[in-house]
Structure 1
Amino acid sequence: MPLALLLSRIRLSPAAMRTTRSAASARLVRADLNPVVREVKRESSISFDISKPESPSVKRKRVKQELEENGEHPKKQAGIVPDIEDFRYDKTKASTSSIKVEKKVRVSSVIKVGAPENWEAVLGGIKNMRLSGQAPVDTKGCEKAGSLLPPKERRFAVLISTMMSSQTKDEVTHAAVERLSENGLLDPDAIVRTDEATLANLIKPVGFYQRKAQFIKEASKICLERFGGDIPDSLNDLLALRGVGPKMAHLVMSIAWKNTQGICVDTHVHRISNRLGWVFREGTKQKTTTPEQTRISLEKWLPKDEWEPINPLLVFFYELFLIFSTAVLFFFVYLG
């Protein structure tokens, strides 16, 4: 056991303390004269005062220093438990170095990604395919909700249809909108006066219908209290509604207000865009992992006049993708 560690565990009388100090000084002198005992000098050179109780923090630092000098890692000693401050220091130190390395990697690996090659030809091929047939999105998408209603009522129908559309097929959403219409519930005032259970039963089986019924009632109340029965006319106000995310907000702005401020990216657009190799995570050549990443990537190169039609176009393509094989779609898009 190192001398300093041994002394720290022994309570000495004042006389013994003076004797110990004298002995240590004598060893230092001998060590200067005799190289063989220089190791003793190194052990005794650790400064500590045994005339008063040693604080825990000083003791930890001293023990750690002694163990390191002996070539031993303090954390690996069986009888010594690392202090919580040691753990905190190690984590901070590790996280700092990790951040530095990560920043270096990011800076050195940034890749500028422009428009994909042949994207215009591919997009043109998909447009030609759409001319030859229809998919559910063409007849039962959110833009068809309340198509025969006056502008204000239609905007509300579009909002409600969009809020029900997540995790739900177009046909199911369209049928739910029809049931609400038949019961006079495509109106914010009527929805507010309807109990949540009745509303949930009417929109069932849309995905998460109970939660969506709650969100629809809340949105209807806000439309009445803040917008005179109309719907919000800005992205921020739409996003403030519970149950409305970026995809829905952009879709409502585009369909209801004819004000396209961004691309509406749902699961279909997200998946097809990655399949076509059109989108990458920022600064990399890796696929996007969320619809929001896909939206940001698409908006960097896709002309703005394509932002509105790209959603129904790629949704149409995705629905055909579920029916036909990849090879057939490749033939129609690239060779047809």
Structure 2
Amino acid sequence: MLGVRCSTRVCYVVRCVTMTSPYFMPSRSGISPPGDQDAVCGPAASLRSKLTNNRRNVEPDSSGAVKEVKEEQEEARISEQRPSSAPLSPGKVHGGCHPKTEADTLPLSSQSRRRRQLKVEYEEDEGVPAVKTELWEPPDWKKQLGYIREMRSGRDAPVDKMGAEKCYDTEAPAHVRRFQVLVSLMLSSQTKDQVTAAAMQKLRAHGCTVEKILTTDDETLGKLIYPVGFWRTKVKYLKLTSALLQKEFGGDVPDSVEGLVRLPGVGPKMAHLAMDIAWDQVSGIGVDTHVHRISNRLGWLKKPTKTPEETRRALEEWLPRDLWSEINWLLVGFGQQVCLPVNPLCSACLNQHSCPSAHKPSPPKRPKAGPPRSPKPEPKQEVAVKQERTKKEPRPTPVSPAAQRRRPRSLKS
């Protein structure tokens, strides 16, 4: 009995020493309020808080107190970095009530780095309109266009009476009318409207259809269209174009710019005008020499252009599309009557105060290439030519005084 009691006491003493000794206490990484631990983890949390208090009573050294204060400051800093919507104390996580997550096992530096990466989202303002870049346009162009319309209100220019819109037979079938419009445009290149209208009148009397052009020999066709500019070349173009229309388009004119420019002798200007007149479709601006010249004079281009095709592209960048069909006949008639190629009538123009080229001398007209002239002879050559002429010409024989005396008196008188 005595041995049993001693062993019981020894076990009790050992157990008390084990429970109260700080060397048998489990390591802890943080301190949480005791009330919170009891509420969450129950008896185990309350026991841990009691053991912690006992350990503080056993080791009241200064180094331990400083270490505990540092740990509390570090845990307070970590708890502040966590979202306020889900506060978690270190005691809850390490006390055994909740499993450890991947974020808890990472070092502090990696946790803070991961929390700093925030996803920024921008809200789209539906009420704010998008910023639009303003297109370039010449100053006072609307005012200048209004003055040109006023000066062209009479419609008495050659293009108004003898243009491509007036050269086809209104009673012919639709495909024949379209072909005649194309032929008149082909003949109008480098030719005045009066000459083009006269040639079209003779062609229509002969028969201006695809079949009739193909059956007409080149000599007869040349006589019909003479004296249009480059009439020999245009005879070849008319024959080739008629053959291509009959072979690929069923004798009708193509209804696209791509198909029209494939025809021999048809350029972009003719193609856009044919689309407008023949098919009533606006595909571009028809720019001829008048439109090209006047657009540069009025300053309707960002920079001066050298060819009509460059002028067309520059005008189409800013000019409204509803004016593309009107601008050709407006400027062509204006160039035929007022804004002439040489010596324009600026004093009679309503745009003389806003036109940057008003009252400026026009460039001199280049002389046409003619037959080569023989150079003038030099002075020495002239003397030599005179000497040769005197040698070749027979000299008159001198009459002696005795012979003159022998002549009858009637001859002397």
The one of 280, 290, 294 equivalent to 1:268 is 290
State the alpha-carbon separation in 2 of the partners of residues 193 and 147 from structure 1. Answer: 20
The one of 294, 298, 301 equivalent to 2:311 is 294
- Give unmatched runs, 5+ long, in structure 2: 1-133, 356-413
Query: Compared with structure 1, are the counterparts of its residues 257 and 325 closer, same or farther at alpha carbon in structure 2 (3 Å cutoff)?
Result: same
Q: Structure 2-normalised TM-score?
A: 0.51
For the 8 Å contact 1:142–1:158, the answer to whether it is kept is yes
For the 8 Å contact 1:126–1:333, the answer to whether it is kept is no
SS at match of 1:115: coil
Please tell me the root mean square deviation across aligned C-alpha atoms, in Å. Answer: 1.9
State the alpha-carbon separation in 1 of the partners of residues 352 and 161 from structure 2. Answer: 22
Q: Work out the percentage of aligned pairs sharing the same amino acid.
A: 49
Offset from partner CA, 1:116-142 (integer Å, 9 cap, x none) = 111111111111111134100001011
Offset from partner CA, 1:104-127 (integer Å, 9 cap, x none) = xxxxxxxx9711111111111111
Name the aligned partner's letter for residue 146 of structure 2: G
For the 8 Å contact 2:286–2:312, the answer to whether it is kept is yes
Instruction: Write 1 or 2 for the structure with the bigger share of helix.
Output: 1
The alpha-carbon deviation at position 327 of structure 1 amounts to: 2.1
For the 8 Å contact 2:269–2:288, the answer to whether it is kept is yes
For the 8 Å contact 1:155–1:256, the answer to whether it is kept is yes
1:76 corresponding residue in structure 2: none
1:313 pairs with 2:335:
no
The one of 239, 253, 268 equivalent to 1:217 is 239
The alpha-carbon deviation at position 333 of structure 1 amounts to: 8.7
State the alpha-carbon separation in 2 of the partners of residues 228 and 265 from structure 1. Answer: 29
Size of the aligned set, in residue pairs, is 218
1:77 corresponding residue in structure 2: none
Offset from partner CA, 1:285-315 (integer Å, 9 cap, x none) = x310000000000000110010011000000
- Consecutive aligned runs of 4 or more in structure 1 exceeding 6 Å deviation: 332-335
- Give unmatched runs, 5+ long, in structure 1: 1-111, 281-285
Structure possessing the higher radius of gyration over alpha carbons: 2
User: Residues 125-274 of structure 1: matches in 2 within 5 Å?
Assistant: 125-148=147-170, 149-184=172-207, 186-274=208-296
State the alpha-carbon separation in 1 of the partners of residues 167 and 186 from structure 2. Answer: 12
State the alpha-carbon separation in 1 of the partners of residues 223 and 241 from structure 2. Answer: 18
Offset from partner CA, 1:8-53 (integer Å, 9 cap, x none) = xxxxxxxxxxxxxxxxxxxxxxxxxxxxxxxxxxxxxxxxxxxxxx
State the alpha-carbon separation in 2 of the partners of residues 226 and 237 from structure 1. Answer: 10
Q: Structure 1-normalised TM-score?
A: 0.62
Name the aligned partner's letter for residue 271 of structure 2: A
Name the aligned partner's letter for residue 299 of structure 1: E
Offset from partner CA, 1:205-261 (integer Å, 9 cap, x none) = 111000001001111111111111111111111101111111111111111011111
The one of 306, 325, 328 equivalent to 2:348 is 328
For the 8 Å contact 1:121–1:334, the answer to whether it is kept is no
State the alpha-carbon separation in 1 of the partners of residues 236 and 220 from structure 2. Answer: 11
State the alpha-carbon separation in 1 of the partners of residues 234 and 316 from structure 2. Answer: 29
State which drifts further: 310-319 or 150-159: 150-159
